[in-house]
Chain A
Amino acid sequence: MTEPVLAIRNLAVEFRSRDGWLPAVRGIDLDLAPNETLALVGESGSGKSLTALAIMGLVPGPAGRIAAGSSIRFEGEELVGASEKALDAVRGNRIAMIFQEPMTALNPTMTVGAQIAEAIRVHRGLGRDAAWRESERLLDLVKVPSRRRRMHDYPHQFSGGMRQRVMIAIALACRPRVLLADEPTTALDVTIQAQVLGLLEDLKREHGLAVLFITHNLGVVALIADRVAVMYAGEIVESGRVEAIFAAPKHPYTLGLLGSTLRIDRDIEALQPIPGSVPAPGALGRGCAFAPRCPRAVSRCETEPPPLEAVAPGRLVRCWMPA
């Protein structure tokens, strides 16, 4: 594997509660190579969005923080503990992020053109006119029609899909190395979803982007990802190449996720939903976090947390009873 552009080691994010600091992300290791799309998969509350926010240095404080001992290295530079100024130089410039909710993620009182141009002016030091022309070019790149007029429009005059294109234009404004995409298509109609995914794929190929794609939609994963990391209760429970995981999931949770996905070639009765829901950060037992919902759990799972172990080259599983 080529040198990773982003290397995360032992990342933990915790939140303050009445019982002290509770871990929401627990000891994550991730590598992201240039030109690679890594899908981070899991249910709501599994910690995937928090992982992305931690990379951006945007864990909502003061109630939340990145725990001591965490490391996020971007092109060799440590981001954990870096100054706000240093982070501002990276954010939106070399690492960019797009969010799930295109309807609320844009400032309602600023024109779309001004919101794109802002990042360009801050990071690339272009003047007003040059930044405006560059923003027009970006709107063109993300295929927003009649861009010249649209630059002066406000977000409420755009549809959800068009707003997400604007978000992508903002994210790509400074030609980042890494793009963090937090469920960018979840809020969109299916047809628009496919358009936006196609656009992201094209842009990734043209710009050599490394993409961390956060989603709970396994159909999307199969379509765009090179590798997958499955998260559960703040931990990675399985990771590997997308074909390998779809062909033979090892962790019971991955199995469950695949089993609860609708497929055209199977009856709806064949759906096997996972009972229960992700435990809250404070409600974790001693053993495996998934054990209470796991059909394969044995007594050891209740008492001893399983380690993340290699079961094949490039394939990691956190389970005492892998399939």
Chain B
Amino acid sequence: MLGFLLRRIALAIPTLLAVMTAVFVLARVVPGDPAQVILGDQATAEALAALRQRLGVDRPLPAQYVDFLSGILRGDLGTSMVTGKSVWAEVLAVLPYTIELTLAAILLGILFGVPLGVLAATRHNRLPDALTRVLSLAGLSFPAFVSAVLLLLVFAIELRWFPVISNPRSGDLLERLQHLALPALNLGLIMTAYITRVTRSSVLGVLGEDYIRTARAKGIGRRAVLWRHALRNALIPVATVIGLYLGTMIGNSVLTEIVFNRPGLGKLILGALNQRDYTLLQGLMVIFAGFIVLANVATDLAYGLIDPRVRAR
């Protein structure tokens, strides 16, 4: 298992390198001079040149590239052009809230999605199956910002069960959970819909396998066959979906964090975009890429835990 882990991590290194190169190139081909953006139209040529020198953008591209990479290797992502704080400080200040939100959404998704998917598969082509299929399709087709607004209208404004503005910094555990509930539910619904559909089709496929027939021929009851034999095999694709979702959490959390006015990486990236904070943006992209690679490694690890055949490879 340790060897498997190390192999996976080693394979992730070239991926990360490619992503960082792409980030570097993208940041350089974006039109406009960062110094000009920062100092504005009225800036003098001397001021611009001085700032370019300070930012390091006056040096040849290969030298900048080496600087950029060696900075990352040293764990230095640079400083924000707007606030002057280090990118790491900006990120670490809000990272826990995004992680909290994502984990809660995934937890909700697994908690509801797996049982619903199993239910639909075992009642294949009957009413529970049809209902789950329609509901999960609805969950998938609903844009996250629309469902966020609806959740706010119903549970925060009409029923007043939860706060309108999600402030994760506040108070004790119960209060924090209250602030987390609606944003997590919003992302969790999408996650539930995904997991339900994948679990359903995966369980259906597995139930047709030969080894399920073998288990039935052993005299194992339907229920035990489902939970002991089918589910573990059916969870392999489910783990993939969760892994992919971890990667796309950025896009979804951006919208959710904006609607609920909740701090997090999503709001940070939006702010950086609005303020043309190139260094912050560049650092954030590297961090996101790192997250996606990490999510993929975690997914592969989950495979290894579920499926002994993967471990052997």
Residues of A with Cβ closer than 8 Å to B? Answer: 56, 58, 84-85, 87-93, 96-97, 99, 101, 104-110, 118-119, 122-123, 154, 156-157, 167, 170
B14 contacts which chain A residues (CB < 8 A)? Answer: none
In the assembly, what is the distance between CA of A134 and CA of B312, in Å?
28
**Quick check: B210 and A88 within 8 Å, CB to CB?**
no
**Quick check: B218 and A84 within 8 Å, CB to CB?**
no
Residues B178-232 near A (CB distance < 8 A): 209-211, 213-222, 228-229, 232
**Quick check: A84 and B219 within 8 Å, CB to CB?**
no
Closest to A173 in B: B218
Closest Cβ of chain A to B94, distance in Å, is 39
Q: List 26 A-B contacts (CB under 8 A).
A: A56-B217, A58-B217, A84-B222, A88-B220, A89-B219, A91-B216, A96-B217, A97-B217, A99-B213, A104-B210, A105-B210, A105-B213, A105-B214, A107-B215, A107-B233, A108-B307, A109-B232, A109-B306, A110-B232, A118-B218, A122-B219, A122-B220, A154-B308, A154-B309, A157-B312, A167-B214
B307 contacts which chain A residues (CB < 8 A)? Answer: 108-109
In the assembly, what is the distance between CA of A87 and CA of B309, in Å?
33
Closest to B235 in A: A109
In the assembly, what is the distance between CA of A128 and CA of B312, in Å?
27
Closest Cβ of chain B to A100, distance in Å, is 9
Closest Cβ of chain A to B226, distance in Å, is 13
B220 contacts which chain A residues (CB < 8 A)? Answer: 88, 92, 118-119, 122
**Quick check: A84 and B210 within 8 Å, CB to CB?**
no
Q: Could you say which of B209, B210, B218, B308 contacts A91, with CB atoms under 8 Å apart?
A: B218
**Quick check: B213 and A122 within 8 Å, CB to CB?**
no
A88 contacts which chain B residues (CB < 8 A)? Answer: 219-221
Instruction: Give me the 3 closest cross-chain CB pairs, A-B, nearest first.
Output: A92-B219, A92-B218, A91-B219
Contact string against A for B residues 281-313, beta-carbon threshold 8 Å, 1 for contact and 0 otherwise: 000000000000000000000000011110010
**Quick check: B218 and A105 within 8 Å, CB to CB?**
no
Most buried by A among B214, B222, B307, B312: B214
In the assembly, what is the distance between CA of A177 and CA of B178, in Å?
62
A91 contacts which chain B residues (CB < 8 A)? Answer: 216-219
B216 contacts which chain A residues (CB < 8 A)? Answer: 56, 58, 91
In the assembly, what is the distance between CA of A99 and CA of B306, in Å?
25
Contact string against A for B residues 22-33, beta-carbon threshold 8 Å, 1 for contact and 0 otherwise: 000000000000
B215 contacts which chain A residues (CB < 8 A)? Answer: 107, 118
In the assembly, what is the distance between CA of A56 and CA of B218, in Å?
10
**Quick check: A93 and B219 within 8 Å, CB to CB?**
yes
With A108-B307, A118-B220, A170-B214 known, 18 other A-B pairs at CB within 8 A are: A91-B216, A91-B217, A91-B218, A92-B218, A97-B217, A105-B210, A105-B211, A107-B229, A108-B233, A109-B308, A110-B229, A110-B232, A118-B218, A119-B218, A119-B220, A122-B218, A122-B220, A157-B312
Closest to B224 in A: A122
Closest Cβ of chain A to B276, distance in Å, is 51
Closest to A102 in B: B210
B306 contacts which chain A residues (CB < 8 A)? Answer: 109
Residues B112-152 near A (CB distance < 8 A): none
B209 contacts which chain A residues (CB < 8 A)? Answer: 104
A123 contacts which chain B residues (CB < 8 A)? Answer: 219
In the assembly, what is the distance between CA of A61 and CA of B220, in Å?
17
A106 contacts which chain B residues (CB < 8 A)? Answer: 211, 214
In the assembly, what is the distance between CA of A201 and CA of B41, in Å?
94
Residues of B with Cβ closer than 8 Å to A? Answer: 209-211, 213-222, 228-229, 232-233, 306-309, 312
B312 contacts which chain A residues (CB < 8 A)? Answer: 156-157
Closest Cβ of chain B to A59, distance in Å, is 11
In the assembly, what is the distance between CA of A309 and CA of B144, in Å?
73
Closest to A114 in B: B228
In the assembly, what is the distance between CA of A99 and CA of B307, in Å?
23
In the assembly, what is the distance between CA of A77 and CA of B23, in Å?
73
Closest Cβ of chain B to A312, distance in Å, is 36
Closest Cβ of chain B to A190, distance in Å, is 23
- Given known A93-B219, A118-B220, A154-B308, contact A58–B214 (CB-CB < 8 A): no
- Given known A108-B308, A154-B308, A154-B309, contact A119–B219 (CB-CB < 8 A): yes
Closest Cβ of chain B to A16, distance in Å, is 13
**Quick check: A99 and B214 within 8 Å, CB to CB?**
yes
Closest Cβ of chain A to B220, distance in Å, is 6
B210 contacts which chain A residues (CB < 8 A)? Answer: 99, 101, 104-105
Closest to A170 in B: B218
In the assembly, what is the distance between CA of A106 and CA of B210, in Å?
7
In the assembly, what is the distance between CA of A107 and CA of B213, in Å?
10
Most buried by A among B229, B308, B312: B308
In the assembly, what is the distance between CA of A97 and CA of B213, in Å?
10
Closest to A101 in B: B210
In the assembly, what is the distance between CA of A313 and CA of B211, in Å?
42
In the assembly, what is the distance between CA of A97 and CA of B218, in Å?
8
In the assembly, what is the distance between CA of A312 and CA of B214, in Å?
39
In the assembly, what is the distance between CA of A91 and CA of B308, in Å?
28
B219 contacts which chain A residues (CB < 8 A)? Answer: 87-93, 119, 122-123
In the assembly, what is the distance between CA of A123 and CA of B220, in Å?
9
In the assembly, what is the distance between CA of A167 and CA of B218, in Å?
10
A154 contacts which chain B residues (CB < 8 A)? Answer: 308-309
Closest Cβ of chain B to A92, distance in Å, is 4
In the assembly, what is the distance between CA of A108 and CA of B311, in Å?
12
B214 contacts which chain A residues (CB < 8 A)? Answer: 99, 105-107, 167, 170
A101 contacts which chain B residues (CB < 8 A)? Answer: 210
Closest to A109 in B: B232
Most buried by A among B217, B222, B229, B232: B217
B221 contacts which chain A residues (CB < 8 A)? Answer: 84-85, 88
Closest to A85 in B: B221
Closest to B311 in A: A154
